[in-house]
Amino acid sequence: MTAIAAAGLTKRYGRVLAVDGLSFSIEPGEIVGFLGPNGAGKTTTLRMLAGLVRPSRGGCRLLDRRVPGPSLREVGTMIEEPSFYPYLSGRANLRHAAILHGGVPERRLDEVLEFVRMERAADKRVRAYSQGMRQRLALARALLWKPKVLLLDEPTNGLDPAGIAEVRAALKTVAVQGVTVLISSHILPEIEKLVERILAVDKGSLRFDGPLQGLLGAVGVNTVSYELEAIDGRALLDALADMGLEPSPHGDAGARVAVPEARAPELLSGLASKGVKVLEARRGAVSLEDAYLRLVGAEGRPS
Amino acid sequence: MTGTMLAAVANVVRAELFKGFRKRRFYFLAGLYWVLLPAVALITATVLDHNLGGSFADQGGQIAQALQGFASPFGLARLALMAPALMSPTGYIIAVALFAGLFIGEERTQRMWKTVFSVQPARMAVLTGKVIAGMIVLAVLLGGALIVGTLAGVLGTLFLPTTFAGPWGQVAGLFGLQWLQLLAALLLAYLLVFLVRSGTLGIILVIFLPALLEGLYTVLNTLSVLRPLTRYNAVFQALRLRQAWQALPHYFFNANLYAPARHLLQPFLQSTGTPQGADLGPLGNLLGQGITLPHAAAVMAGYAVVFAAATAWLVARRDVE
């Protein structure tokens, strides 16, 4: 069984092609990161998967059944900014959703509130909630009927670092239970810690679909990043340029540079041979953010 | 309708009522309608009875007859039905607009549609449930007015020369018919909110749009009388379009919508001395003279079908922002 499948998914708003023939499939239990710059078509794709927007062409299936259809009852969503009835408490909003969906026992409300650590604030009106509390409550609502698929659009928006870590842990927990998660986020280091697979879109088209390590390889990442500091920063930059690299200044007398992995061992000796006295050199792993920015080009910004 | 669909509709109705009865506007409106109206009627009746009862003006028990007309249990029940239809804009349309705002308009202003349709993806079930919830709340409002009015009238019998007598079956039937006819108004409100993509504008439109269109007709009708005969209006008349044009007010939304509530106004006027069949002038239009209850019910059923079909089409097809 395929949990999420899109085939030639296309959405056009007038002359604007928001999503252009997107095709992918996600197996049950996978956690997949959905990346793309602003306006890449991520939210429109999630809306089509959630049955909120009709595709102009193509279609999608959830749990091997057509969307829109009954399979949507097995889906939990957080699409864009969470919305609630502000005059109701958090618990009343959850109860409303539970009644609306049907088949949710009362004790489940307490379970999800505890899961997102919102038990204490549950009886306050939502209009008094912070952005982070609204995000947590939206996650609780998405989990209310124990969905088999979660479609999450920027679920950690507005959360503090501790909240982000909690949401990450919560999502890992639900994934262990066999829930399929498709998550878009602009906090790329978070995606990196959470997902096994990346779907990267740009200008409505799929640019990459594969495991995280595959994305690093796909953008020519047999490179290693270095942060260097020398006595003479100008000389350091010139020497790196002479070696055919593309350094960028960093601090007063430092530079950042990406070096092909095969050439990494000769970096320091090469600088020494050019008379550059290196005070400090830090080697870093290539991050998802680096790889992603290369994939979407200079104009691409994480969204 | 399948069992799944019925279960979904029932869930939507329960959820909407859960939400609706937590909204203060319902209690505010109910308070005004249930309490204020009988209170004012009883105070007026008491003053009238105290000042004029047994005086020279009370020849032949006219004061007692008038008090029985508006301050008896039956009189207050009748008043609860009639009074909202005689306001401008009517109390009924204000209630419909407020409930449409609660059940449909709010989903737009609070950006809740994406949540509602994610939680309950059966869109037709959502729409049907919201319509039923709206009708239930209207039933509570009207039923409450009937009960509170009656109880206030019973209270009045303790200190006023009024009795429980009256054609109760008729007034209860008219309450029921008025409630049923409000379905068309509720559907119009839902349709307008969807159509204009604005909760506030939709609510304002439902109050003023029918009256605006009907007013426009009146202006055009007047202008057409003043126009000299041309080949165009000769054709217009030859095709008997004029008769249809003249008959149009019989199909107006407002004239038919409030027909049950205004039906009791004429007997009420007779009870206060107005002779039957008298030319009531502009008041005749207000009473919907010439519009029978079956005609009004049929016209409003037609409106309801059209509004329901259009709303269902919009709800099923429209992308959720």
Q: Look at B19 and A47 and tell me if their CB atoms are within 8 Å.
A: no
10 Å Cβ neighbour count for B54? 12
DSSP3 helix / strand / coil % (chain B, rounded to 5): 80, 0, 20
For residue A195, give the amino acid letter: V
Higher pLDDT, residue A112 or A175: A112
Contacting residues of A for B123, CB less than 8 Å apart: 68
Q: Look at B110 and A83 and tell me if their CB atoms are within 8 Å.
A: yes
Residue-level pLDDT at B237: 62
Task: Indicate the range of A103-107, B61-65, B217-221, B307-311 predicted with least confidence.
Answer: B217-221
Residue A258 near residue A294, CB atoms below 8 Å: no
Count of A–B CB contacts within 8 Å? 77
How distant is the Cα of B134 from the closest Cα of chain A, in angstroms?
A: 16
Residue A157 sits at the vertex; the CA angle it makes with A156 and A159, to the nearest 5 degrees, is 70
Burial per residue of B286-296, b for 16 or more beta-carbon CB atoms within 10 angstroms, e otherwise: bbbeebebeeb
Q: What is the pLDDT of residues A139-153, one digit of tens each?
A: 999 999 999 999 999
Q: Look at A81 and B111 and tell me if their CB atoms are within 8 Å.
A: yes
Helix (H, G, I), strand (E, B) or coil at A182: strand
Q: Report domain extents, chain B.
A: 3-316
Q: Look at A81 and B110 and tell me if their CB atoms are within 8 Å.
A: no
Contacting residues of A for B115, CB less than 8 Å apart: 82-84, 97, 141
Rounded distance, CA B310 to CA B313, Å?
A: 5
* A205-211 sheet: strands from edge to edge: A75-78, A149-153, A180-184, A31-35, A197-202, A205-211
Q: What is the pLDDT of residues B244-258, one digit of tens each?
A: 677 777 888 888 888
How distant is the Cα of B319 from the closest Cα of chain A, in angstroms?
A: 5
> Comparing C-alpha atoms, which of A115, A131, A122, A109 is closest to residue A170?
A115
Helix (H, G, I), strand (E, B) or coil at A24: strand
Residue-level pLDDT at B34: 93
Residue from the list B7, B23, B317 with its beta carbon closest to the beta carbon of A102: B7
Rounded distance, CA B267 to CA A16, Å?
A: 63
Contacting residues of A for B110, CB less than 8 Å apart: 83-86
- DSSP type of residue A125: B
Q: Look at B22 and A50 and tell me if their CB atoms are within 8 Å.
A: no
Q: Residue B229: which pLDDT band, with cuts at 50, 70 and 90?
A: low
Q: Is B106's Cβ below 8 Å from some Cβ in A?
A: yes
Residue from the list B4, B22, B114 with its beta carbon closest to the beta carbon of A52: B114
- pLDDT for residue A269 is more than 80: yes
Residue-level pLDDT at A289: 65
- DSSP type of residue B228: P
- pLDDT for residue B196 is more than 80: yes
Contacting residues of A for B116, CB less than 8 Å apart: 100
What is the rounded average pLDDT of the residues A60-81? 90
Residue B176 near residue B168, CB atoms below 8 Å: no
Indicate the average pLDDT of chain B. Answer: 86
Contacting residues of A for B22, CB less than 8 Å apart: 87-88, 92
ω before A265 within 30° of 0 (cis)?
A: no
Residue A150 near residue A79, CB atoms below 8 Å: no
Residue from the list B18, B110, B119 with its beta carbon closest to the beta carbon of A86: B110
> Comparing C-alpha atoms, which of A167, A9, A152 is closest to residue A80?
A152
Query: CB neighbours of B148 closer than 8 A, spacing ≥ 6?
Result: B34, B35, B38, B80
Whole-prediction pTM value?
A: 0.82
Q: Is B25's Cβ below 8 Å from some Cβ in A?
A: no
Residue-level pLDDT at A285: 61
The dihedrals phi and psi of B186, each to the nearest 5 degrees, come to: -65, -45
- pLDDT for residue A300 is more than 50: no
What is the rounded average pLDDT of the residues A188-213? 84
* Residues of chain B above pLDDT 90, percent: 46
Task: Please give the residue of chain A at the shortest CA–CA distance from B108.
Answer: A83
Mutate to test the interface with A, among B114, B313, B314 (most CBs of A within 10 A): B114
Q: Residue A220: which pLDDT band, with cuts at 50, 70 and 90?
A: low
What is the rounded average pLDDT of the residues B303-314? 95
**Distances from the Cα of B101 to the Cαs of A106, A203, A230, B11, in angstroms?**
29, 38, 68, 20
Residue-level pLDDT at B233: 66
Task: Please give the residue of chain A at the shortest CA–CA distance from B320.
Answer: A52
Q: Is B117's Cβ below 8 Å from some Cβ in A?
A: yes
- pLDDT for residue B13 is more than 80: yes
Q: Look at A83 and B118 and tell me if their CB atoms are within 8 Å.
A: no
* A4-13 sheet: strands from edge to edge: A16-26, A4-13, A57-62, A65-66
- pLDDT for residue A302 is more than 50: no
What is the rounded average pLDDT of the residues B231-237? 67
Task: Please give the residue of chain A at the shortest CA–CA distance from B22.
Answer: A88
Residue B96 sits at the vertex; the CA angle it makes with B267 and B148, to the nearest 5 degrees, is 55
Task: Indicate the range of A161-165, B8-12, B172-176, B287-291 predicted with least confidence.
Answer: B287-291
**Distances from the Cα of B284 to the Cαs of B86, B278, B290, in angstroms?**
13, 9, 9
Chain-centroid distance, C-alpha A251: 30
Is the torsion defined by CA of B193, B196, B201, B207 positive or negative?
negative
Task: Indicate the range of A50-54, A254-258, B190-194, B282-286 predicted with least confidence.
Answer: B282-286
Rounded distance, CA B9 to CA A176, Å?
A: 34
As a dihedral over the C-alpha atoms of residue B211, residue B212, residue B217, residue B219, rounded to 10 degrees, the angle is 120
- pLDDT for residue A298 is more than 50: no
Residue B23 near residue B98, CB atoms below 8 Å: no
Q: Is B276's Cβ below 8 Å from some Cβ in A?
A: no
Residues counted in chain A: 303
Q: Look at B119 and A75 and tell me if their CB atoms are within 8 Å.
A: no
ω before A68 within 30° of 0 (cis)?
A: yes
How distant is the Cα of B148 from the closest Cα of chain A, in angstroms?
A: 29
10 Å Cβ neighbour count for A103? 11
Is the torsion defined by CA of A287, A292, A297, A298 positive or negative?
negative
Q: Look at B114 and A83 and tell me if their CB atoms are within 8 Å.
A: yes
Task: Indicate the range of A119-128, A223-232, B41-50 predicted with least confidence.
Answer: A223-232
